[in-house]
Amino acid sequence: MLDLVADTNIIFSALLKKGKIRKIVLLGEGIKLHAPQELYEELHRLAPKLQRYIRLPREELHEAIDTFVSETIELHEREEYREMLALAEQLLAEVDIADAPFVGLAMFLGVPLWTGDKELLVLSVGTGFEHFVAVDTEGVEMLLEGKKIEEVEEGMREKYGWVRGI
């Protein structure tokens, strides 16, 4: 079973459009997604934006979000990973501290963070994956194909390491 922390942009993409991300998220078999409770709240805050593309009445859209999240993602309360959250906030102080719950949860669970956020991918590579491993959708596909995490890290290094000369 492949455990991953999925950030908001991944789940938003899965809800918004058909494609690789939605297929992976909806696979169910062989993959288990985790996210901080903030994901649920953020999706509901983003509902008006989603509503422009998913033409459902407001109440139905919120119900669809609830169903989607409850059937595809295990949500975690901050209290569970509080100690790692503090470290994540330090790491992200110059990037985007709003991503700290996702990074902190990935660190706590010891699983990769699935993101499309280039800053998080570059930070992960730039710190030599010392604190957390961030992977993009291609990296998730590699993991699902049975590639070892070291191979995936090398792929992320090749793809995102040039930004910091790594």
Start-to-end CA span in the chain (Å): 31
What does the pLDDT look like over 53-96, one tens digit per residue? 787 888 888 898 899 889 899 999 999 999 999 999 999 988 88
- DSSP structure string for 103-155: HHHHHHHT-PEE---HHHHHHHHHTTTSS--EE-HHHHHHHHTT--HHHHHHH
Question: At what angle are helices 100-109 and 82-91 packed, to 10 degrees?
Answer: 130
Q: Domain 2-164 is classified in which CATH homologous superfamily?
A: 5'-nuclease (3.40.50.1010)
**22: its two tokens:** 């939605």
Q: What would the pLDDT profile of 146-155 be if each residue is shown by its tens digit? A: 999 999 999 9
Residue-range domain boundaries for the chain: 2-164
Whether pLDDT at 165 is above 50: no
